Amino acid sequence: MDHFKIDRQFVESIMGSLQEKGCNLSLEEVATVVDLIREEVVYQYVERLIGQVETILEIDPSLSEKEILETVAKNVCDYLGAEAVSIRIYDPGREEMVSFGSYPKSAEDREEAIPFEDTIAGEVVRTHQSYFVPDIATEDKYKNKEKVLHKGIHSMLAIPIFIPRFSLKDVDIEGSFQIYFREKNRKFTPLEAKIAEMLSRRVSYVIARKRIMGLQLLNVTKDKIVEKIFLRLGKREGIKMKDFFNMVIPELVEIIRIQRCALFSVSGDRKHVMLEAGYPENQHGLGKVFDVEVPYIHAIVNQTGPFGEFENEKIMPNYILIHNPKESRLLPADLQQFLEHQQINSVLYIPLKVNDVVTYFLAFDAQAHQRRFSDEEIEIFTFFGKEMMKGLRLEKMDDILHDFKNPAIATAGFAKRVKKILEDGEYPAKKEKVDQALEIILKETSRIQELALTLHGEGKEETIDLTEKLKRRFLINEEAAREIKRENIYFFEGELASPLWIRCFPLHIERVLDNLLNNAFNAIPAEGGELAIRSYRKDGWAVAEITNTGKIREEDRDRFLMGNGKGRGLHITTRLVKQMGGRMEVESEEYRTTFRVMLPLVSQT
């Protein structure tokens, strides 16, 4: 089949044109020239054009969309012998044509945005047709002429860019390639425009490949989030919520353009929230406290609704998307001004819940050129939040299992002791010891049950005597030590001031003392040593001291005092003491180490 068949009438037309110019060729001679052009010239031209198309199709889809468009601009520029190409993308929200790259890079010194109306780029997007500018100096729609004329550029061809959405969740991209030439009064041919349009349309294939890879990357990122969280959970030193945040956010930055994001925790009384972590960290005032009654915080933390899509925000149980911060009724004036100054056009809040109660929330700010978060971004951020909470729940279970150990060992020891007394028929003579052991067994098994139930809540705060708790936990840990049959360990009770009233959840102080006693016991050298306790008042503090034979390394001491102690027990201890409003000290001498827990004294009532 002859795809380039040329009829006789066309050849006669060419012959007539040549004769008008004084070139007298016969019909057969003209037909021979036409055949040569078709077989030799057109072949080379088409081959070069195909090569140019293949070059565009082979553009690396891992590049950003801006880089892909700039690479296409380079190809168009080189193929047409142009001086430069600039790219403008239509922003329907602002009704402007926004600068989106150029070739060469030196051509980027132009306005960031120009109006959609009465401009060449806007006209190209509106009509979806090319626009010819033979002389920029006389073109009314080209506003800022002086800059390009100074560079020796006098003519321009603007062609439309259109990248259809890849899925229902995508948005169409429309814009203009503006191709600049040095010639003045340049005569543009329809062929030039069609070739340029054809080359620019090939970019949609590259973008489609990029978005397919993006979906794959989205799933890979979900897997990475899970992997990172649970690898971290596998380490013995425990984990904090902000550790999750600082560990996984860099993974998200690789595929989703995050300008700013932050993690907030909700206080136990649910009256305040604290900024726990932020990205980038130097742009956040970590440790700042905010009132829950601020409208957007109240909406996130208390989940009171109403839910739905409103003029300036979308409020859902699993996220709040504020897509017009300047007008949102949820944001205070100072925050609105800050977001406007930072050119943040959209804010996403994701609540993190335990038993349907919000205990943390995440905040993500959209980049200035990104009008609002896409459904995919909301999906990955909510997934991230859910996985964080799953991880913390497993971590809490691991904490509980860790704290089961010594009470369980001690309970088994007391149970064996009671069994032996009964088997030996010594109950009447040792009734008091049996009663004491049974009371301890009852209380410790009840306590273990309460510890398991902390997955669903912490119970309620009580006013308790720190010294009584210290004595009881010392007795339990002494029994656990006896049960594992470690020799040459001597237990001593020093001066114990009582009562030392403190206010806390009973399980919290019990877990703190158990962990410190267990760590002190394990730190005693193999040849043996002492484990002693003491309690007293000091400057409004109730103080419990636990001292063991053995010296702590200076680097471990410093790490512990900064709240980064290794080992799950020390991590649990520092977290709970901080939660109770207390502080800890470590004192190390040549042959012994003392851990000191200091909690605020309160009145008994």
Tens-place pLDDT, residues 448-477: 666 665 554 555 778 989 999 899 888 888
Antiparallel, parallel or unpaired: β 173-181 and 260-266: unpaired
For 23-80, how does the pLDDT look when each residue is reduced to its tens digit (9 = 90+)?
877 777 777 777 777 777 676 767 777 777 788 778 887 787 788 888 888 888 888 8
Region 379-402 average pLDDT: 68
When pLDDT is averaged across residues 373-399 and rounded to a whole number, the result is: 69
Going by pLDDT thresholds of 50, 70 and 90, the confidence category of residue 252 is: low
The token duo for 303 is 């989940």
The whole-number pLDDT of residue 440 equals: 74
Q: In the prediction, which pLDDT does 227 show?
A: 61
Q: What would the mean pLDDT of 97-114 be, rounded to a whole number?
A: 79
Burial 489-527, CB ≥16 within 10 A → b, else e:
bebeeeebeeebbbebbbbbbbbbbbbbbbbbbebbeee
Q: What is the mean pLDDT of residues 190-214?
A: 75
Q: Please name the helix (run of DSSP H) or strand (run of DSSP E) that holds residue 129, with its range, or none.
A: none
Lowest mean pLDDT among 364-368, 469-473, 545-549: 364-368
Residue 16 CB neighbours (<10 A): 10
**pLDDT of amino acid 542:** 93
**Structure confidence at residue 519 as a pLDDT band (50, 70, 90):** confident
Residue 236 has pLDDT above 50, yes or no: no
Which amino acid does the sequence have at 13?
Answer: S
Residue 265: closest CA among 155, 392, 81, 449:
392
- Is a pLDDT exceeding 90 seen at residue 208? no
What tokens does 140 get? 């009314």
b/e 219-256 (16+ beta carbons within 10 angstroms → b): eebeebbbebbeebbeeeebbbbbbbbbebbebbeebb
pLDDT in tens, 80-90: 888 998 888 88
Q: What is the pLDDT of residue 356?
A: 79
To the nearest 10 degrees (0 to 180), the angle between helices 190-201 and 42-57 is 30
Q: What is the pLDDT of residue 404?
A: 63
Q: What pLDDT shows up at residue 298?
A: 93
- Mean pLDDT across the stretch 102-122? 82
Sorting pLDDT into bands at 50, 70 and 90, what band is 5? low
pLDDT for residue 310: 87
Q: Which residue has the tokens 């109306």?
A: 117
Task: Choose from 6-10, 20-24, 98-102, 541-545 the range with maximum mean pLDDT.
Answer: 541-545
By residue count, the chain amounts to 605
DSSP state of 76: H
25: buried, middle or exposed (CB in 10 Å: 19+, 13-18, 0-12)? middle
CA distances in angstroms from 423 to 411, 416, 419, 482, listed in the order given: 18, 10, 6, 21
Question: What is residue 343's three-state secondary structure?
Answer: coil
Amino acid at 100: F
3-state secondary structure of 561: helix
Q: Which residue has the tokens 């090569």?
A: 51
- If one compares 286 and 370, the residue with the highest pLDDT of the two is 286
Concatenate the DSSP letters of all residues of 33-53 into one string.
Answer: HHHHIIIIIHHHHHHHHHHHH
How far, in Å, CA of 451 to CA of 399, rounded?
A: 10
In this prediction, residue 395 has a pLDDT band, given cuts at 50, 70 and 90, of low
| pLDDT tens string 257-301 | 566 788 888 877 788 888 877 787 666 666 778 889 999 999 999
Q: What per-residue confidence (pLDDT) applies to 299? A: 92
* Residue 395 φ then ψ, to 5°: -65, -40
Q: Which residue has the higher pLDDT, 107 or 61?
A: 61
Band (pLDDT 50/70/90 cuts) for residue 192 is confident
**What is the average pLDDT across 243-264?**
69
Amino acid of residue 259: Q
DSSP string computed for 286-308: TT-EEETTSHHHHHHHH-----E
Structure-model confidence comparison of residues 603 and 552, the more confident one: 603
Q: Render pLDDT for 422-437 as a digit per residue (tens, 0 to 9).
A: 887 887 888 887 887 7
Please indicate whether residue 241 or residue 557 has the higher confidence score (pLDDT): 557
- 181 pLDDT above the threshold of 50: yes
Average pLDDT, the chain: 78
Those residues whose C-beta lies under 8 Å from the C-beta of residue 231, and which sit 6 or more positions away, are none
Rounded to an integer, the average pLDDT of 91-97 is 83
Alpha-carbon distance of 145 to 366, in angstroms, equals 34
Q: Which residue has the tokens 């017009």?
A: 324
Structure tokens at 348: 């996403």
